Amino acid sequence: MPSHTYFKLAEASFFLKKANDNWRNVPDFDFYLSAFFSAARSVTWIMRGEYENAPEWKAWYDAKQPDNQIVELLKKTNAIRVRSQKSAPITTRTTATLHTHGVSAEALKILSEAKDVRLMPVDSRNEEFYFVVEGRRVAVGRLENAVHELPEFPGEHALAACDRYVRFLDELVRECEKRFPRNLKQQAENPVTRPATE
């Protein structure tokens, strides 16, 4: 039976996978990202509640000294969670790569001179988009790629930052569970409730 800590990490990983699966769909992507940060940030809190009474756990946990890159990652992910819980929802800046074909010379001129080009989905699949300039549909493009950025991680895809965070948490949880295995009595007193399957 997995620990409460591992189960919370699995929840975070679930939401990260959902965000990855929904890279075409904004705001769905942002909603899953928000759920990921909420669950991921709770992993160490759950760990503390689950293991703090284990002999030598507190000394082990307090001695964990992450390197400067991880410290910076933790500060930024905490800032995202605090912002999303207390002041503003998570919204990413999306840069999309679209492939166009058969675009007229007039449309290319309009697009190259436009200060603001908006994308509007052709349908609910979010595979093709209209290029919209001043309310006018100028051309159609097929979505090839999208990069979602968070203000805390400029120039980096949000999924890459989240993946680094999950890898750090996974390593921490694995080490904790190896050093402080839960015994059957603890599992019986603190069972992990599994979600109902469909």
What's this model's pTM, rounded to 2 decimal places? 0.81
Own/partner pairs, 99-108, CB within 8 angstroms, 24+ separation? 99/141, 99/142, 99/144, 100/131, 100/139, 100/140, 100/141, 100/142, 103/139, 104/139, 107/131, 107/138, 107/139
pLDDT of residue 3: 92
Lowest mean pLDDT, pick from 77-81, 103-107, 193-197: 193-197
> How far apart are alpha carbons 107 and 93 in whole angstroms?
25
Tell me the pLDDT tens digit for each residue of 36-61.
999 999 999 999 999 999 999 999 99
Tell me the pLDDT tens digit for each residue of 112-150.
999 999 889 998 888 999 999 999 999 999 999 899 999
Choice between 32 and 1, residue whose per-residue pLDDT is larger: 32
Choice between 54 and 186, residue whose per-residue pLDDT is larger: 54
Q: What is the mean pLDDT of the chain?
A: 90
Burial of 19 (C-beta count, 10 Å sphere; 0-12/13-18/19+): buried
* Pair of tokens at residue 13: 């990983």
> How far apart are alpha carbons 96 and 168 in whole angstroms?
29
Tell me the pLDDT tens digit for each residue of 11-41.
999 999 999 999 999 899 999 999 999 999 9
